[in-house]
Copies of this chain bind each other. A is one copy, B any other.
């Protein structure tokens, strides 16, 4: 059993930018030489989240439309009144979706569905340079 810690770095546009990171996570898994275990993908920040989706432009739009219903940009947030950075909606959306995702793998391959991709969602209200953690643990 061993642990391998890897980092993914990429720029985003913010404002619900959804990035397909499946190939990057798979690449890290391959380099780790660990064949059976669990990959933990983690967002070290409070305005981004990870989940899975069938990555196509329709759903990218639909997913953001759902977040706008749940936590609209235009309403009052106490965070904005206190700190003035205008990203209260970004924070509550990120906490709702959550920063971590655990994906089992066996025989060197993540057990994702055929139409299922791993995504990072940048919920902040401005472009960001992001770093994600990919922790691989297994044998």
Contacts and interface: CB of A to CB of B under 8 A. Distances in A.
Interface of A: 1-3, 5, 36-38, 40, 42-46, 51-54, 56-59, 61-63, 66, 69-71, 77-83, 88, 91-92, 94-104, 106, 111-113, 115-116, 119, 133, 135, 137-139
A34 to B, nearest CB: 10
Nearest to A104: B135
A46 B113 contact: yes
Q: Which 4 A-B pairs have the closest CB atoms?
A: A104-B135, A58-B78, A58-B79, A1-B1
Chain A interface main SS type: mixed
A118 to B, nearest CB: 10
A96 to B, nearest CB: 7
Contacts of A59: 78-79, 88, 91-92, 95
A58 B77 contact: yes
A63 B45 contact: no
A55 to B, nearest CB: 9
A40 B104 contact: yes
A78 B61 contact: yes
